[in-house]
A and B are shown apart, each in its own frame.
Chain A
Amino acid sequence: MATAREIRRRIRSVKNIAKITKAMQLVAAARMRRAQSRVTEARPYADALRQVLSGLATQAGRVRHPLLAERPVVNVLIIEVTPDRGLAGSLISNIHRRVGREIVERGANTSMVAVGRKARDFARRTSTQLIAEFTGISDTPVVADVAPISRLVIDAFTESQIDLVLLGYTRFVSTLNQQAVLEQLLPVVPPEENASPINYMYEPDESAVLAELLPRYVESRIYQALLESKASEQSARMVAMRNATDSANDLGRDLTLVLNKARQEAITNEIAEIAAGAAALS
């Protein structure tokens, strides 16, 4: 059995850990609220873009654009969006697993663009060809942060170096639920809306609008993925840190019990010895 001093030292360190994880939990909670509101704020733009695009898509056959071109798939590029830092529960391993499965299925002609340090580490670990890495993106990203990413993939796609671009990120469903997803980014599949199509007039004409719209749409998808990923990261970290704080507190309580028992045992022993000594004398 550990001595009382050893147990006291462990209790102290467990309580310190609990303080740290509690602080991380509070920080993550504050950031999560901010990240969530950014997801919501960005939604009207993305929704409106999607609507205009689906309206254009109903003009089927009349519109053509390089970013819509379906080719036989040889070279695949996966953009993986992850946090820079860990301590976010199973969030990171979930997205790695989703992307990893795809890489195994697609075979050797798969390359990656890493957004976030964890994605970069993953590419290195699995020796997947890494075309570019974007790390250290602020917790409150702006569209300018993703502009280089979208430019890179659009160029690679239009120059036919890549035939298919997939976008892997963690979708924020709720504070307790984040979902690793992998979606097709390029070629663009125009979304279908259920609403009855409106007969728009297009200025200057359909293809000019489409040519302006598609790059913006790709950019907006990546931006949205980044925002969702940030919100997921903070929620997952908050929950993970709350669990860690709870476990540390439980452990502290258990250890205190063990300590008290050990102390009482020591006292009992001492009394017994004294009593035995006294009995021997009389």
Chain B
Amino acid sequence: MANAHKVHLRIVTAEAQVYNSEADLIIAPGGAGELGIQARHIPIVTTLKPGTLRIIQNNDENIYALAGGFLEVRDDGEGSAAIVLAGSAESAENIDLERAEAARARAAQRLSESQTEVDAARAQAALLRAAARIRVAELYRSRRSAVRG
């Protein structure tokens, strides 16, 4: 079943598993910079920043907005197995752009009003998450309109 040229990818959040399939290439927002994962990648554990996770499979691309987390890649003998442990992961088509914009505005306001360092850090994190969602949604929309046009 496992294909030596593919990466078996699972995306799990604390609440549920949101993705479980094979991929040719995964591009993830790593804590030390963006990284691409293909089959036979060396075992790695990395933190993930809030951002865009791109899954490329048979020339098709799936985009997810991640709210930070971890990525673990291991060699399962036949190919590579990757697990994304995400604070939250939303597929691009499910993102409500208006809600994301509202969340960004709220976070920006909280950031400007925050009194303590901790508050500021939390607001900053919320801001990054909202920005990641918006980026993903916009990316997805522009792709879709390009296909149509």
Q: Which residues of A contact B (CB under 8 A)?
A: 38, 41-42, 44-46, 48-49, 51-52, 55-56, 142-143, 198-204, 208-209, 212-213, 216, 219-220, 223
Contact = CB atoms under 8 A, between A and B. Distances in A.
A199 B16 contact: no
Contacts of B17: 41, 44-45
Interface residues of B, number: 25
Contacts of B35: 203
Interface of B: 10, 12-17, 30-32, 35, 42-47, 68-70, 72, 74, 83, 85, 87
Contacts of A56: 45
Contacts of A220: 14
A136 B13 CA distance: 24
Closest 8 CB pairs of A and B: A203-B46, A204-B32, A143-B14, A41-B16, A45-B12, A203-B32, A201-B44, A44-B12
Nearest to A206: B45
Nearest to B33: A203
Given A52-B45, A55-B45, A203-B46, 19 more contacts: A41-B15, A41-B17, A42-B16, A45-B14, A48-B72, A52-B70, A52-B72, A198-B74, A200-B74, A201-B42, A201-B44, A203-B30, A203-B45, A203-B47, A208-B31, A209-B31, A209-B70, A212-B70, A223-B14
Nearest to A199: B43
A48 B85 contact: yes
Which of A44, A208, A209, A213 has the most B CB atoms < 10 Å from its CB? A44
A55 B83 CA distance: 14
Contacts of B72: 48, 51-52, 200
Per DSSP, chain A at the interface is helix
A223 B87 CA distance: 13
Nearest to B122: A151
Contacts of A49: 70, 85
Nearest to B41: A201
B85 A203 contact: no
Nearest to B48: A212
Contacts of A209: 31, 45-47, 70
A138 to B, nearest CB: 13
5 contacts: A52-B70, A143-B15, A198-B74, A200-B74, A220-B14
